[in-house]
Amino acid sequence: MGQREILRILEQVGSGAVSPGEALLKLKTEPFEDLGFAKIDHHRALRQGVPEVIYGGGKTAEQINAIVSAMLKKEKRAVLITKLAPEAAEEIKRAHPIRYDETSRIGMIGEFPEPDGKGKILIATGGTSDIPVAEEAALTARMLGNEVERLYDAGVAGLHRLLSHLGEIMSASVIIAVAGMEGALASVIGGLASCPVIAVPTSVGYGANFGGVSALLAMLNSCACGVCVVNIDNGFGAGYLASMINHPEGHK
């Protein structure tokens, strides 16, 4: 339950449409809902400004359907599902109006809200192979009310590709740098930008990349100031953090 929903209940109490006892019952049942296999945190939007996001990995389509149904019954206008397998998405479509993006493996219910952040989030990738993680970040940021600009395949192997977009880099409110291999993109962008840079190491690379560990360690050891790092392939975490930075007064 978000701030708007609580305000609506209080207004209904004030007008006499809802009794204080009924309002109390609504609020008391809100903290979480126990489905047995999942405890849905309905108060997360009130605490953090953003409703709970469903991690689809390891969950069955039936479990996800039940969680989505419970969230929609609580008047959630939008639902975001990450790491959603295509097969599960097809089953969920039979019960809910889900839009599924195969590249990012994100499922979405509800429309993108109008951007209300202070600026623009720029998402850059070292290579084309990093796009699935970048798109997870991009769609997360869009669902959280941000304007997103993409700069893909601009890695340090051809530095002129990145330098031709200095205007976008300099004007961004926050930048997400997504790269595998040696992960140098975050340091280069960190040395050019005046805004926070969120580095996302990906598991893209040859054997000594160790599934993204080499990029993770390189990003953690960046000599550029203002660079923070999320976990390997965690596009969602980067998109969420970027949205928080882009909404300094909090999500509404």
Residue 215: closest CA among 147, 142, 137, 129 = 129
Q: Which band of pLDDT confidence, cut at 50, 70 and 90, is reported for residue 51?
A: confident
Q: What is the pLDDT of residue 35?
A: 72
Number of CB atoms found within 10 A of residue 148's CB: 22
For residue range 202-233, list pLDDT tens digits in order: 999 999 999 999 999 999 999 999 999 999 99
The domains of the chain, with CATH numbers, are 31-109 (no CATH), 120-246 (3.40.50.1970)
What's this model's pTM, rounded to 2 decimal places? 0.83
The pLDDT confidence band at residue 72, using thresholds 50, 70 and 90, is confident
Say if residue 27's pLDDT is above 80.
no
Q: Is the pLDDT assigned to residue 76 strictly greater than 90?
A: no
DSSP of 51-103: PPPEE-TT--HHHHHHHHHHHHHTT-S-EEEES--HHHHHHHHTTS--EEETT
For position 3, what pLDDT does the model report? 63
Cα gap 45→251, rounded to integer Å: 9
What mean pLDDT comes out for the span 138-150? Answer: 95
